[in-house]
Amino acid sequence: MKRILSALFAVLLVMSLASCGEDKPPVSDADEFKIATSFYPVYVATLNVVDGAEGVTLLNLTDPDVGCLHDYILTPDDIKKLSGTDLFIASGMNMESFVGKSSLGIPRLEVLECGEDIKNVIGDEGEENPHYWMSIENAIMQCDKIKRTLCRLDPENAGIYEANAAGYKEKLSKLLEEARVRMSKLPDREMIVYHDSFDYFAEEFDIDTEHILSDSEGRLPNQKDVAEAIREIRGENASCIFTQKSFADVEALRSVVKQTGCSIVLLDTLTSGAEDGNDKDAYINAVRRNMDIIEQNIR
């Protein structure tokens, strides 16, 4: 599948290049450094590092409402946007199935996959879990990786990248300290969850996640899964199921809620927010909101 998407990308790219004129491939202005990010978590981290850097433009390729990019396929419009870019920053860990090891078929485009070398929290079924940014420590590592790449590709702005990254990392470290204190005080260390996006956060603070209606086999939950989930919830005497907005209306989940009297509690996967350049604390604020919600619901 990955290979097909990469091939498709290459074809679309050639088409878009061809339509832009024969001799002149679209290159960015020599004094302009153009960065594109794949989706919101990477965008916010990059926004913090490039803040105030001269001659730098930052574009987030996908709409924040897209959420995760698990099944995202690049559109011809995306490719048009990318064709003038110097650096593409992706989340990696197979979050963007359209990103291969090569530079997306664009010879001079650098691709940074932030998730590379970050420890993968393996799910119950042995599947990989790409939601690494949900761990604050990983967000700090991500910031460092972005900074190092930017300093190498745009050394003129290295001073500002270093200073910005140091400032953002300090904020994230404070958040981590706050989270350690707050999460250590939870009276119960178990969360019933639907979906694996909270595993990194939970592991960071020694909270166990009990997955229900696991869809890891790529199929929708069936009646047997619903019955098993109900048994599990009753066994744990749980009062709520944590999930994210995009799953709130899953029929099987609704059915479990109806039969157990549990409530659905929505947490933020930190994949959406404003893109006006002023929302540099979007990640930090969303982690705090998640902690408020966890504290209110784990009692």
Q: At 7, which amino acid appears?
A: A
Question: How far is residue 85's CA from residue 108's CA, in Å, rounded to a whole number?
Answer: 9
- Between residues 68 and 270, which has the closer beta carbon with respect to Zn ion? 68
55 three-state secondary structure: coil
Contact code string over 9-48 relative to Zn ion, x by CB under 5 A: ----------------------------------------
Residue 68 or 233 having the CB closest to Zn ion: 68
Binding mask 60-99 for Zn ion (x = CB under 5 A): --------x-------------------------------
In the complex, what is the shortest distance from the CB of residue 35 to Zn ion, in angstroms, rounded to a whole number? 23
Of 167, 157, 147, give the one whose Cα is nearest residue 284. Answer: 167
Beta carbon of residue 16, minimum distance to Zn ion (angstroms, whole number): 28
Using an 8 Å Cβ cutoff, are 270 and 40 in contact? yes
Which one, 44 or 165, has the nearer CB to Zn ion? 44
End-to-end CA distance of the chain: 44
The distance of closest approach from Cβ of residue 100 to Zn ion in the complex, given in angstroms and rounded to an integer, is 20
Q: Report phi then psi at 56, rounded to 5.
A: -110, 130
Quote the distance between the C-alpha of residue 191 and its chain's center: 21
Q: How far apart are CA 286 and CA 297, in angstroms?
A: 17
Q: Cβ of residue 15: shortest distance to Zn ion, in angstroms?
A: 30
DSSP state, residue 147:
H
Ranked by CB distance to Zn ion, the top (closest) residue is 68
Nearer to Zn ion, 157 or 244 (CB): 244
What residues line the site for Zn ion (CB under 5 A)? 68
